[in-house]
Amino acid sequence: MDIKRIIYWISTVVMCGVFTFSAQMYFRNTEMVQGFFEALGYPSYIVIPLAILKVLGIVAVLTDKSKMLTEWAYFGFLLDAILALVAHQVAGDGGSMFAIIAIVSTIISRGMYGLLYR
């Protein structure tokens, strides 16, 4: 099996796992997450729509049926992770670069595997 393909799928599964965990937490603990959003300065009404978009993004990335939709999903994931990191840094409660690293490694490995701009 091609090493580039293995790297691509490992990074894709890790990235999708991060956002699956996040989306399920938004659905299962909505009130708690809404409190976190308000503490970070975001409106609480975006929790459920954001969770739905995360699930749809995961589906778009894993199925790869529409090139444009897949690229928008990657963009949405990256934007979500950057905004979350910045919000946590501003709030002074830390924040993790893990999601950003997972997304960037997936995009890079996707390019190595030849899936970008085909």
Of the chain, the percentage scoring pLDDT greater than 70 comes to 91
CB atoms within 10 A of CB 14: 16
pTM of the complete model: 0.82
| Total residues found in the chain within this entry | 118
Instruction: Indicate whether 104 pLDDT > 90.
Output: no
Question: Do the Cβ atoms of 23 and 51 come closer than 8 Å?
Answer: yes
* pLDDT tens column, 4-20: 788 888 888 999 999 99
Whole-number average pLDDT of the chain: 86
